Structures are given as C-alpha cells and as structure tokens.
Structure 1
Amino acid sequence: MSPSSSSPPHVVEDCRGVVQLLSDGTVRRSPDPIFPVDSDRDDGSVEWKDVLFDPTHSLFLRLYRPRPSHELSGYDNEKLPVLVYFHGGGFCIGSRTWPNFHAGCLRLAAELGVFVVSADYRLAPEHRLPAAIEDGATALLWLKAQAEAGAGADPWLAESADFSRVFVSGDSAGGNIAHHMAVRFGPAGLNPVRIRGFILLMPAFGGADRTRSELECPADAFLNLELFDRYTRLALPRGATKNHPIFNPFGPESPSLGPVETGPILVVTAERDILRDRDVEYVVKMRELGKRVELVEIQGQEHGFFATKPWSEPVGELVRIIKRFMTELSNESV
C-alpha cells in the first residue's frame, strides 16, 4: 500500500465550516448554527412551535402565529393569510432552528400579521437535488391535508389559518424551491388550499455561462463565485452542470414553462448580489411567456441580507414590499 493511499481522509469541500466533504466520501456536519443574531428583539408578540410533517425523512416545520392581542390589519378576513417559507443555504446548510432564520420568521409573522410556516428539507451532499424540491412539495401537501382535515387539523391552523390566502416564499435556495412549487402546483393545484402568490427572495438560479454579476462579484462577498460553485457541485446530481433544469429553468434541457399556470410571482433581488443578473433574466423570460411577475431590487445590499441581518432596516424595507404584495393579492377576488 502506498503512503498516499494510507493517509487519513482530508477535506475536499468546505461550506462555511458547517458541512465538509472528505476525500473518502464522508460528510461531516457541525451541530452549531452560524450567523448569530440579536435574540433580544423577540418581544413575545408571536408564538411558535415545531411540528413533524414528514415522518419518513424526520422533517419538521415551525409554525409562527401572532398572538391574539397583536395588531392585525390590512386583510379582509378574521383568519390570517399563510406564508410558507423555505430557508436558504445553497441546498447544503441551514435549518428552521437556526437563530437567523428563526428571527426572520418572527419578524415576518409580526410585521406582516400572517401565519408563517417555516419548513425544513433534506440537505446536500447527503441528499442531492431533487430531494429539497420533493420535500418542499411534501410540506405543501401536508398543508393541503391540514386544510382538508378541518377541525381535525393542527389546532393553531384550524383556529387561525386562512387556507384560501396562502403564499409560498423562499430565500436563495429556498427561492429556487418556491419557483418549483409555482411550476408544480400553481394557484389551484392544492385545492382546497388557494395559493395567491409566490415570493422569491434572491432565488438561486444558475447556468453554464457566467453572467456579469458573477464575473464581477468581489472575493470578499458574502456569497462569492468560489462558494457559489462549491454549493452547486455539492447540491446538483452527480455529473450535472449548472444547466440542470432544477437550477436553470431556461436551460437547453429544461421543459417549456409556457403552458404552466404559475400565478403571480414577486422576485426580490439585491443590487450587489452575485445572482442579480440571473434573477433579472428569470423575470424577463417569465414575462416573455406571459407570466405575472414583479421585480424589486434592494439597493446597496448583497446576497443573503435577509438571513444575515434579519432585524436590519433593509429587511424592514423588504418586509414592507412583501406586505404590499400579499395585501393586494389577499384582497383580490378569485
């Protein structure tokens, strides 16, 4: 046996120290979340709890409900619109339990005055795509089952959730999941759940050819080109390129979205985001297909600001944009 073959396994891929792929194929995960946030901002106006939604894969979601004394305005119904949220993390890291994602969902529930459902999904490289997409669909099908259960649903949902006013959102990788939920279910594919709109926050799309925002992304960016490439190597099916249909909705192997009824979509990008050009291209091509898609760009911000700075003023601006989108669509007749 040669010395090289007997040497101990070494790290070949490292994602922020949270997940590491070793040379022998072993995956190491740190149990410690990253991106610490100020926990003192939780004023108790929102209550939350965890619920198992997929026993097969031991996947949980976290329900957030503004307390009855909390001011709820802007919606034409006593029950609350529902916002489903999928966290980011390059499909490789993250959880509903991480303090930053938890803080973001607390803020969404409190300031939007909505019922938030934050769902976990399986992570790569142990579970490469399309596992996360399938888990997103499972979470929405769980919500459909809750709507069908009526009084037999989870008590919080039965008491507070308006299943006719549901929105599906996600940040970064979660924004990619939200896109695929729009394609799979559209507004009416989960009857009696009615999805009024989809909210894609800096969605993670890619392609084989580099965009200008990718090429000009500084090395010290929160998400730089090296890390972006690493996430995709670990998340996509083995041997796949960034033109894989999951990652590039308009790639050479992607099915046409022309016949698909997606419903209204809000895309939020950031001025200094490495994915900015991908997101703008997505909006342009969706509009060319006749889809109802709105684009908003947050100035001065880079990728992931919702996850890394959930209590910041830029996130406050983002929340106001989401509230306007949700309020308008919640009050539309269907």
Structure 2
Amino acid sequence: MPTAEVGTKEGVTSVDVKTTYEEHELDCRIYKPDNLEENEKRPTMIWSFGGGFVFGSTNSPEEDVTCRELVKRNGIVVISVNYRLAPEHPHPAAIDDVCNALLWAKNGDSEELQNVDTEKLFLGGYSAGANLSLVSTQEMIKDDKEELVKAIVCFFPPLMHKPTVESRKKSPKAWTLTKNQLDFFEYCYLGKERDDKYEREDVNPTKAKTMEKYPPTFILTGTRDPLYDESFVLKKKMENDGVKVVLKSYKNGVHGFHQYHYLPYTKKAYEEITDFLKSNDLYAKK
C-alpha cells in the first residue's frame, strides 16, 4: 500500500495514503496527534473538503490548516478524503468516495488505521463537503449501517435547493461566495437536468421522508453566507424528525470564515465544535 509522508506541523502528523476498498480506489490524507502511542485508538472524523464539488483537494492549504486545527484542539484522528471532482466525475461519484472511505476506516485493517477507533467514527465537511457528509449518512441509513456514523459536523452546508432561497438571491459580489458561483457548481455537479434532481435525498438531504436516524449534528454558518437560510431549513427538518442538532450562527460571518483565524469569532466557533464533540464522547485531547 503506497504512502507518502507529508510532514509534522505543530504537533500533528499527516500522511497521504492511496489504497483500495473492495476494488474502489481511495486517496486520503490522514492526520493524527504526533504523540500517539503505536496502537492508541482515537475518535476519527472522515472529512470532506469544500470547493463546490468542482475545486479543492486534500492538499489545499486551507483544508490542511482546518484538519490540523481539528486534530490539535480535540485530540482526534482526521481522514481527509480526496474525492473525485465534477464535471469529470459528476454526482454521485463524490458520495461513493466518502462512503467507501468511511467503510474502509471501519474495516480498520490497514497499518495507517492503527490509531482509528472504529467504534467512534463520524463525518465532517466544509460547504460541498458538508453536503457530502449529510448525504453519505443517508446512504449508510439506506444500507442499515447508520450506527457507523456517530455524529456529523457541517461547516456552511448547501442543501442544493432550487435557486430560490432568499439568502442566495441577495448575496452580493463582495461576499466570498456568490449566486453565480453556486449556479456554476451545481451545473457541473448535477448536469443539465439539475432541476429534476433537487428533490432527491442524495442531493438535498432534507428531501428524505424522515431524518430520524441521523446522528447528532453540528451546523456552523454566518449571516453573510448565501447558504445561511439553508442551515436553518436543515436544523428545522432535523429537529422535527427528532434529531439532536446544534446550529451556531455568527453575525457578519462569511462563507468559510473558519479559515480566517484572525477573526474574533473563529476561535469561538472552534470552541463550540469542541463542546459538541465532548457532549457526544468524541473528544480525546489529553
């Protein structure tokens, strides 16, 4: 199983892994605290990066910083999935990659997974990656494997609505994400017939008949995110279906503000995530 060492930065070790799970190729970057003992097990997040399903990778500096921050603050392992991108690989290729990474981690028989607690796996992601975390959970539910996902952490999740959501319509060019960009991303990911797909639960998870089997979920958003309203739609659907959900919204927060560590509320947002992980027995910092 070929691997490539990436390096240790500020107490976090990372390694790139190319492997297969049941004949599916997987490309991941694994982050872990560099003071772990050889077979010490830690809660593990399967992370999906942002980029509108079109851009991004595990190697982007922003994603690297985010994953390292999550490890440092919480003592967890993070497996960042280098899922396939649209338009070359449209829906549902990225979902398949995230699901297979989760199942590979659960299998736990690779040397790179020696620190993964297979009983404490959870999903997380930013923007498009948050959508992938939600719909991948739905796929696990369909396969009667919902017990694999102990929680979901969503940064600025898009629900893939038809483009009538108010916060999308009013997003000015000055924001970090605009309506035109969202339209482009969804066109690449869903194709020409995208209007026919907005009602699918593997596109918009709130279209599922019920979300009652979803695990506890954390949602992060900001009032200057064009996806702002969608976070509240998701929260309402989950609450109505009996899911434990925490939504934290920050005034003037733009899409992806978690990457800007000089902002006063970014530190607070990471503290809120830690509180959520502690409350769900997924915190392991020593």
Separation (CA, whole Å) in 2 of partners of 1:117 and 1:331: 15
- 1:223-261 deviation digits (Å, cap 9, x = unpaired): 1111111111111143122624233334xxx44125x51
Report the CA distance shift for 1:309/1:212 in structure 2 as closer, same or farther (over 3 A): same
Aligned-partner Cα distance in 1 for 2:205–2:128: 14
Per-residue CA distance 1:127-157 (angstroms, 9 max, x = gap): 11111111111111111221xx3xxx32x43
Alignment equivalent of 2:75, drawn from 113, 116, 132: 113
The match for 2:63 is 101
Q: Give 1:64-213 correspondences, 5 Å limit.
A: 64-68=31-35, 79-146=41-108, 149=109, 153-154=110-111, 156-158=112-114, 160-185=115-140, 190=145, 194-213=148-167
Contact 1:185-1:262 within 8 A present in 2 as well: no
Are the equivalent residues in 1 in contact too, given 2:135–2:203 (CA < 8 A)?
no
Structure (1 or 2) with the larger CA radius of gyration = 1
Secondary structure at the aligned position of 1:101 is classed as helix
1:46 to 2:2 alignment: no
Tell me by how many angstroms 1:312 deviates: 5.0
1:73 aligns with: none
Correspondent of 1:216 among 170, 175, 178: 170
Alpha-carbon deviations, 1:165-189, whole Å to 9, x = none?
Answer: 2221011000001101222225x95
4+ aligned runs moved over 6 Å, structure 1: none
After TM superposition, the score normalised by the length of structure 1 is 0.74
1:303 aligns with 2:255: yes
**Normalized against structure 2, the TM-score is what?**
0.85
Go from structure 1 to structure 2 and tell me whether the alpha carbon gap of 1:286 and 1:271 turns closer, same or farther (over 3 Å shift): same
Give me the whole-angstrom Cα distance separating, in 1, the residues matched to 2:79 and 2:14: 10
Cα deviation for residue 53 of structure 1 reads: 3.6
Kindly state the Cα deviation for residue 266 of structure 1 after the two structures are TM-superposed. 1.2
Is contact 1:86-1:178 (8 Å) kept? yes
Q: 1:23 aligns to what?
A: none
Q: Which amino acid aligns with 1:195?
A: V
Q: What amino acid sits opposite 1:266 in the alignment?
A: F
In structure 1, what is the Cα distance between the partners aligned to 2:90 and 2:140? 22
Query: In the alignment, is residue 285 of structure 1 matched against residue 251 of structure 2?
Result: no
Q: State whether structure 2 residue 257 is matched by structure 1 residue 257.
A: no
In the alignment, is the contact (CA less than 8 A) between 2:46 and 2:78 conserved in 1?
yes
CA contact (8 A) 1:63 1:116 kept: yes
Q: Counterpart of 2:35 in structure 1: which amino acid?
A: P
Equivalent position to 1:243, from 190, 194, 198: 198
Amino acid at match of 1:256: K
Stretch of structure 1 that moved more, 312-321 or 90-99:
312-321
Distance 1:190 1:249 in 2: 17
> For residues 72 and 193 of structure 2, what CA distance do their matches in structure 1 show?
43
Preserved contact between residue 43 and residue 282 of structure 2 (Cα < 8 Å): no
**Paired letter, 2:56:** G
Deviations 1:247-279 (A, max 9, x none): 3334xxx44125x51111111111211001011
Distance (Å, rounded) in 2 between the aligned partners of 1:60 and 1:182:
20
Q: Which runs of 5+ in 1 are unaligned?
A: 1-41, 71-77
What's the RMSD between the two structures over aligned residues? 2.6
Q: Matches of 1:330 and 1:83 in 2, distance apart?
A: 13
What percentage of aligned pairs have identical amino acids? 27
Deviation at 1:106, TM superposition (A): 1.1
Q: Which runs of 5+ in 2 are unaligned?
A: 1-7
Q: Distance in 1 between matches of 2:42 and 2:262?
A: 23
Give me the whole-angstrom Cα distance separating, in 2, the residues matched to 1:249 and 1:119. Answer: 20
Secondary structure, aligned partner of 2:15: strand
What is the alpha-carbon distance in structure 2 between the residues aligned to residue 247 and residue 331 of structure 1?
A: 27
